Amino acid sequence: MSTLWDLVRGLVRPAAKPAVRRAPSRPARAKPRRPRTAGPAQERYDAVTRAMLDLYGVRVRRWRKAMSGIAWEVHYRDGSVTKLIEAPRPKGPMSVAVFLHEIGHHAIGLGAHKPRCLEEFHAWKFALERMEEEGLNITDAVRRRVHASLHYAVAKARRRGLQSLPDELKPYTQPPPRTRHGKTQG
């Protein structure tokens, strides 16, 4: 009788497994691939991205895959300040809107507007105005995203005890209008 140790030491060879017959694989259908080249819209997104980063002295810490972002500053002992963002790389209307929104936080000044939901309003306003100036497409999905974001910011401020809501934010007390598919954001 052989033991497990015999198997480990190589004294006994395990029984051979039966061979499994595999069906012959079909050759993959070759799809004609177009070379990826930046189109005119992508060139405009890239130009706007470079211009905004240079104009406001902002550095991208990381390009996000998700349609979310964050803006912050690092203050050093010598008095210097580094402006940083994380945002999606602008490739379409939604990603460029989120990117410009994060740039907007630095353009208007982080913490310059109180309450925080008012700062969010001005950052979105900055983003939409830059998109219009640059001739970039502002889709209905972008408008729904802005409304949903501001609705969330207002609701959060109220949960935290906001007493007086600025007039600019009163339209955002109601949730964004629903679409045919029941989505509130694009």
Q: Are strands 81-88 and 70-75 parallel, antiparallel or unpaired?
A: antiparallel
pLDDT in tens, 130-147: 999 999 999 999 999 999
CA separation, residue 8 to residues 2, 15, 17, 18, 130 (Å): 11, 14, 18, 21, 70
Query: Cα–Cα–Cα angle for 60, 65, 69, nearest 5°?
Result: 50
pLDDT in tens, 52-108: 999 999 999 999 999 999 999 999 999 999 999 999 999 999 999 999 999 999 999
pTM above 0.85, yes or no: no
Nearest to 110 by CA among 129, 82, 132: 82
